Structure 1
Amino acid sequence: MDSFSFYIIIILLLSFHQSESQSIQSTHLLDLMIRDYTIRNFKLNLNTGITQKIYLPSNFSGIDIDTVKLRCGSLRRYGAKIGEFHIGSGVTVEPCPERVMLIRQNLGSNWSSIYSTGYNLAVYNYKLVSPVLGLLAYNANPDGVATNPYEVNVMATDQNPILIDFLSSKTTDNPNPKATMKKNSSVLCACFISNANTTFSEQVSPYVCKGTRQGHYALVMKTETQKDDHDGGGGGVVTSSTDMNGGNGGGKLSRWKVAVGSVIGSGIGAILLGMLVVAMLVKVKKKAMREEMERRAYEEEALQVSMVGHVRAPTAPGTRTLPRIADDRYKNTHLNSNYP
């Protein structure tokens, strides 16, 4: 009876696991499921540096998985190649365990739509024109896989980047990305960041993208219908060396106009401020000159000082007028008195 109950529980858990897998809508949950299947099916006797194909259950049909175990020092010095990903030499691995397990994902046409809806590409008038390719790194033990796996950060530089070649995709249920794109369309590289944002960049060569760390990448292009508003929930979009107007120059032109207007406005403001400062300085200088003139005029009009004996006293120049005879009668009287 106990054995029968145990088998019933196992069957229920498997059925629940299968239904849960079919209803996966989270990109992070999908990565965890792929990691667990990879660890469970990894061949422990496989030599380091040998790529192994991982076959997922039928409910993950369309997903193509490869994995390889490398020494961390070798990965940093020489780089690696797994599937569509070419990791250049000189990458930084943090933390750097003794062994690193690389898992390459090709989500195909069935599962790539999770990123299209989860990152709201339709809201920003973008659509996928290639399968989503992923590269994730985890710690590994020298004799096998780690019992407590954690994600390892593999970071490259612009000089020695991680190249993603979408034309080398060999998944049978995914059409060649070149065949699904229009000849004159503007195709961009999209990098899906873990914080629900998306960065866009130009291709380094036809259908080859450049990345600076592990993650998920795809080719996108503008849709036919253009929307004026960018409302909607979910993650935002951050453009990198690409404008959001489909490469027609409109966004660049408006930014150029804004920059020129800002420079002109700043220049006019600086000129007006300089004129105001000059006017204030002239006014202050005139006021000082006027006060100096008033001071000198006051000093010049002051009485002169001279010595009278041993005392200094103010003196004035001799400006007293001589007396004048008032009338003739007084004059005659005065004359008669002097000459009897």
Structure 2
Amino acid sequence: MGLKVERWWQITWIIFSLFLSSLVEASDTYDQDSLDTFLCKHANKVIEKPRTGTFYNISLPGNFTGIEVSVVRLRTVSFWLRGVNYSFFNIPRRVVPQPNRKRMAILYENLGNLSSHYYNVPNHTMLAPVFGVIPYTSSETTLIDCENMNFIIQREPIRIHFPHIRPYAKNVTPICVKFGAGGSVKFRKMIRPYVCEAKSEGHYTIVVPTTKSQTQNKSKGFNIWWVLGFVICFVGLVVLVLVLIIIVKVVKRRKMRKMEKFSEKGEAFDTFWIGETKVPVASMRRTHPVLENDDAPH
């Protein structure tokens, strides 16, 4: 019985360890490149027959709640002559998209409350969601070919307006941030209130330096939730082991009852207890020997 309980405990502990490792891996599964690739392919599925010059709002699955995505297909000549003004983005004229194609598509992203899951600025706090403007090549039949394009800006920069800013200390100056490839971060001073000027396509937001008190509060909050989650998982593990032990005992008792009922149908046996187990024992009485010859002396 002890060996069985120990085995069940070992198996349960292994399952629990695998569960914790899966949680750790799941927390690191947010990837910027995979998000852009998904949005690109998903936009093609949603918009099957796109029209040039029409802005489309892309509906996303439930696990991307909070993210807003729009897309527009343009002729590159028209884009160079007129530029584009849409939502929070202002792309001026004379911006050259590369590589040179007849058509192009621009994907506008607002990562909303999921911004911190995909992007992070060390020692800084984001005051606004992460906004992205990503150009792709396009064709007559396909909205997005998923081939990235680059903006060559020689005159006025792209302007990104951030209307919703979180409260921050008055003595702190917000900073514009661009997220580059490989997790790189570039800082740029904000010339106008809540407006970032960009010299290239990409993802942008506004940040302020994180104070020591904010860092301590974040670390305390993280530790509390981590400890609480560990305690809940450990209690669940203990309950699971206890349930398994009870099930093993109940099954064993049922088997013993069946054996007792079966033995009662046959010859009656005496019983005695060994620990908590009731064991049948044959009677110690023996029949007296009888001689076959009656002439034998008694």
Report the TM-score, using the length of structure 1 for normalisation. 0.52
CA distance in 2, matches of 1:28, 1:184: 36
| Superimposed CA distance per residue, residues 37-67 of structure 1 (whole angstroms, 9 cap, x where no aligned partner) | 11211241x4321111000000111100011
SS in 2 for 1:77: helix
Preserved contact between residue 66 and residue 83 of structure 1 (Cα < 8 Å): no
- Matching residue of 1:195: 182
Q: Which letter does structure 2 place at the counterpart of 1:136? A: I
2:169 is equivalent to residue 165 of structure 1: no
Partner of 1:181: 168
> What's the counterpart of residue 316 of structure 1?
none
Equivalent position amino acid for 2:168 in 1: M
Note the residue ranges of structure 2 that are not aligned, 5 or more in a row.
1-24, 214-298
TM alignment of 1:103-142, pairs within 5 A: 103-116=107-120, 121-122=121-122, 125-142=123-140
Contact 1:21 1:59 in 2 (8 A): no
C-alpha distance in 2 between matches for 1:24 and 1:33: 14
| 1:26 is the counterpart of 2:31 | yes
Give the match for residue 152 of structure 2: 155
Task: Give the paired residue count.
Answer: 189
Report the secondary structure of 1:28's partner residue: helix
Structure 1: 4+ residue segments shifted above 6 A: 20-23
**Which residue of the other structure, out of 97, 101, 114, is the alignment partner of 1:93?**
97
Q: Does 2:181 match 1:224?
A: no
- 1:213 partnered with 2:211: no
Cα distance in 1, alignment partners of residues 115 and 59 from structure 2: 16
2: distance between equivalents of 1:90 and 1:221?
33
Q: Alpha-carbon deviations, 1:180-233, whole Å to 9, x = none?
A: 33333210000011132111011120000000111000000111129xxxxxxx
| 1:71 aligns to 2:58 (yes or no) | no
Alignment partner, residue 258 of structure 1: none
2:61 is the alignment partner of 1:57: yes
Which structure 1 residue ranges, 5 or more long, are not aligned? Answer: 1-19, 168-175, 227-340
Q: Equivalent residue of 1:35, what SS?
A: helix
Give the CA deviation at 1:23.
6.7
Between the two structures, name the one with larger relative contact order (CA 8 Å, sep ≥ 6): 2
1:142 alignment partner AA? E
What is the alpha-carbon distance in structure 2 between the residues aligned to residue 76 and residue 52 of structure 1? Answer: 21
- Deviation, 1:21, is 9.8
After TM superposition, the structure 1 = structure 2 runs for residues 253-272 of structure 1, keeping only pairs within 5 Å, are none
Tell me: CA distance 1:200–1:100, structure 2 relative to 1, closer, same or farther (3 Å): same
Per the alignment, do residues 81 and 22 of structure 1 end up closer, same or farther by CA in structure 2, a change over 3 Å counting?
Answer: farther
Distance 2:182 2:119 in 1: 13
Secondary structure of 1:112's match?
Answer: helix
Matched AA of 1:216: H
**Cα 1:136–1:198 shift into 2, 3 Å:** same
1:96 CA displacement = 2.0
Aligned CA-pair RMSD: 2.1
Q: Is the Cα contact below 8 Å between 2:30 and 2:117 reproduced in 1? A: no
CA gap of 1:193–1:23, structure 2 versus 1, over 3 A, is closer
What is the distance in 2 between the residues matched to 1:35 and 1:74?
22
Of structures 1 and 2, the larger Rg is shown by: 1
Instruction: Summarize the alignment of residues 279-318 of structure 1 with structure 2, pairs less than 5 Å apart.
Output: none
Give the residue type in structure 1 aligned to 2:162: F
